[in-house]
């Protein structure tokens, strides 16, 4: 496996695309990019984003964390289990996050609900083991107090924005790279095993995706984009709405009431307190 296939490094003013099957659950790095448009259209284990300036960045489902450091003036669409930012400024991020997103020493960060779509996105959510119904993008944890940094740290945008539909890649790899598990145990002819693989993606990790079969890109273009995550108002890509989950049911199958009555013990204790108060009031009146 070629490490250069899993990093975009020191690029300026380019369109950088990783098509489906080119990452296959491995990690990826975006480092020192300026004025670039980046599309990670595959599921990954983690994505690290460093020193990116004035970029548009689309990151498909990530089983682990997406960590942004020293980035500024970027527009992002990110789906991850965990999100962290440090020393970032002026980011506009449409977010799916399965856990509480966190920011540190960051200012002027705008969070909105995930609104990305591309063919095969629902399958990538499954492979990244992310539940589309569990989006906690609004529950931001800020490591810094409001008085720190001298500027607004973050704000929430609950409006329904237009969907961000990823463009089709110019080509797609003919063979996917090995998964992380496959890398750990690659058999040799003598029966021994070692880390690594000669099964490379056929994609230039340093620039716009290339190589592979143009027919695969045609199949991508013909497939309709999809998205399993609801927008901020509950609307779904392609129409329809996601209804709130039904109320929980008891073991017998009947719906549980919205609130349960107090236990007999609590009720008895409450009645006893009332009786004591009445007796005290009567005693005071007698005096």
Q: What is the pLDDT of residues 48-101, one digit of tens each?
A: 999 999 999 999 999 999 999 999 999 999 999 999 999 999 999 999 999 999
Q: CA-CA distance, 126 to 141, in Å (whole number)?
A: 26
User: Is the Cβ–Cβ distance between 111 and 92 less than 8 Å?
Assistant: no
Closest CA to 170 of 213, 199, 205, 200: 213
For domain 3-177+202-222, the CATH class is mainly beta
Q: C-alpha angle with apex 47: 213 to 221, nearest 5 degrees?
A: 30
9-26 per-position pLDDT tens digit? 999 999 999 999 999 999
Q: CB neighbours of 147 closer than 8 A, spacing ≥ 6?
A: none
Query: Cβ(217)–Cβ(170) under 8 Å?
Result: yes
Instruction: Supply φ then ψ for residue 164, to 5 degrees.
Output: -100, 100
- 107 φ/ψ angles, rounded to the nearest 5 degrees: -135, 160
User: What are the pLDDT digits (tens) for 202-254?
Assistant: 334 444 443 334 455 556 657 889 999 999 989 898 887 876 555 556 556 65
What SS3 state is found at 284?
helix
In angstroms, rounded to a whole number, what is the distance separating the alpha carbons of residues 285 and 214?
Answer: 95
- Whether 51 and 31 have beta carbons less than 8 Å apart is answered as yes
Taking only Cα atoms into account, the Rg of the chain, rounded to an integer number of angstroms, comes to: 26
Mean pLDDT of the chain: 79
| Phi, psi at 257, each rounded to 5° | -65, 160
Q: What is the pLDDT of residue 42?
A: 96
CB 3 within 8 A of CB 27: no
On whether the CB atoms of residues 111 and 154 are closer than 8 A, the answer is yes
Element (H, E) at 280: helix 264-286
pLDDT tens, 250-279? 556 655 554 444 444 444 444 555 555 666
Please report where in the chains the tokens 């790279």 appear, as a residue: 177
What is the reported pLDDT for 163?
95
Overall average pLDDT of the 109-124 stretch: 96
Please report, for residues 4, 7, 107, 194, 203, the alpha-carbon distance to residue 199 in angstroms, rounded to integers and kept in the order given: 14, 17, 42, 14, 12
For residue 188, CA distances in Å to 175, 181, 192, 197 come to 19, 16, 5, 10
């Amino acid at each position: 496996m070629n490490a250069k296939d899993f990093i975009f490094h020191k690029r300026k003013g380019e369109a950088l695309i990783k098509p489906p099957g080119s990452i296959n659950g491995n990690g990826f790095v975006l480092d020192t990019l300026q004025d670039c448009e980046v599309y990670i259209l595959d599921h990954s284990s983690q994505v690290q984003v460093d020193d990116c300036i004035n970029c548009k960045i689309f990151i498909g489902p990530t089983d682990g964390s997406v960590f942004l450091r020293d980035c500024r003036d970027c527009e992002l669409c990110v789906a991850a289990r965990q999100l962290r930012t440090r020393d970032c400024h002026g980011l506009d991020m449409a977010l799916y996050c399965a856990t509480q997103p966190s920011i540190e020493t960051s200012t002027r960060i705008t969070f909105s609900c995930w609104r990305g779509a591309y063919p095969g996105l629902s399958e990538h959510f499954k492979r990244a083991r992310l539940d589309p119904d569990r989006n906690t993008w609004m529950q931001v944890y800020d490591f810094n107090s409001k008085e720190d940094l001298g500027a607004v740290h973050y704000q929430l945008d609950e409006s329904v924005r237009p969907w961000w539909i990823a463009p089709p890649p110019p080509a797609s790899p003919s063979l996917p790279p090995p998964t992380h598990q496959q890398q750990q145990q690659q058999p040799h002819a003598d029966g021994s095993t070692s880390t690594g693989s000669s099964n490379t993606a056929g994609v230039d990790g340093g620039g716009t995706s290339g190589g592979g079969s143009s027919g695969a890109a045609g199949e991508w273009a013909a497939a309709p984009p999809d998205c399993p995550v609801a927008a901020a108002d509950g609307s779904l890509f392609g129409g329809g709405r996601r209804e709130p989950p039904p109320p929980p049911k008891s073991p017998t199958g009947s719906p549980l009431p919205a609130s349960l009555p107090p236990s007999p013990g609590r009720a008895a204790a409450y009645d006893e307190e009332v009786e004591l108060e009445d007796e005290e009031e009567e005693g005071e009146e007698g005096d």
